[in-house]
């Protein structure tokens, strides 16, 4: 983002991005506990300035993340007890997730074992070389952009992570680890409003979406 404040702590319509990402999970009747993986130096400030201040009572663990996103998720999975049925994984910088979407992925994961949300590719897709020259136009049929939340039966995601580390495999999302393990993953329609905050433009779009939601209520 080019600033001194990590994007998960930037204010979005008066609330930190991380708080907006967590509140739908706090409000979901199907979520029993929340585990947050963040940089180690942020752990105490987050406990005080995020969890206590905004009363996120379902957060059971705040743990230090790893070198890569996958390492952070692995650390979080180690905190989950054997009685947990479904594990939902979400990016802390997707602040516009809804409780309805969380409930949907939990329901589908319970029936199918492994699901991810996503949106169909609508634009023309080009494959480009390092110089910027177009090599080919790729068919967009069957192409989806994966989002989070992603949800899995506990035994599915645990097995996928064990296999990934045994093979030294790093995927771009959690569903890719399950796919690598040979376990089917099902795509369910996500939400184009469920943006991942990466740039300043994303923050502006999120503000506009929140304003639109407020007008509808």
Q: What is the pLDDT of residues 153-209, one digit of tens each?
A: 999 999 999 999 999 999 999 999 999 999 999 999 999 999 999 999 999 999 999
Model confidence pTM above 0.85: yes
At 2 the pLDDT is: 60
* Tokens at 19, concatenated: 């708080």
Q: Would you say 47 and 20 are in contact if contact means Cβ atoms under 8 Å apart?
A: no
Phi, psi of 111 (to 5 degrees): -90, -35
- d(Cα 191, Cα 2) in Å, to the nearest integer? 27
Residues of the chain with pLDDT below 50 are none
At 1 the pLDDT is: 60
Domains of the chain and CATH, by start: 7-216 (3.90.550.10)
Q: Would you say 119 and 145 are in contact if contact means Cβ atoms under 8 Å apart?
A: yes
**Strands 34-38 and 59-64, bridge-based pairing:** parallel
* Tokens at 192, concatenated: 């184009």
């Amino acid at each position: 983002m080019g600033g001194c404040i990590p994007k998960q702590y930037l204010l979005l319509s008066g609330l930190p991005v991380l708080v907006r990402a967590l509140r739908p999970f706090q409000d979901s009747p199907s979520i029993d506990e929340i585990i947050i993986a963040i940089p180690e130096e942020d752990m105490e400030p987050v406990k005080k300035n995020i969890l206590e201040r905004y009363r996120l009572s379902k957060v059971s663990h705040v743990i230090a993340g790893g070198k890569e996103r996958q390492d952070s998720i692995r650390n979080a999975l180690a905190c989950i007890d054997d009685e947990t049925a479904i594990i939902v994984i979400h990016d802390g910088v997707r602040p516009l997730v809804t409780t309805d979407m969380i409930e949907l992925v939990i329901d589908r994961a319970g029936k199918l074992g492994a699901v991810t949300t996503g949106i169909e590719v609508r634009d023309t897709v080009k494959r480009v070389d390092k110089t910027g020259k177009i090599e080919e136009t790729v068919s967009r049929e069957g192409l989806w952009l994966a989002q989070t939340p992603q949800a899995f039966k506990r035994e599915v995601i645990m097995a996928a992570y064990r296999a990934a580390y045994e093979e030294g495999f790093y995927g771009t999302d959690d569903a890719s680890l399950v796919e690598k393990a040979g376990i089917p993953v099902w795509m369910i329609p996500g939400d184009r409003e469920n943006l991942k905050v990466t740039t300043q433009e994303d923050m502006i779009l999120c503000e506009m979406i929140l304003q639109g939601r407020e007008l509808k209520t």
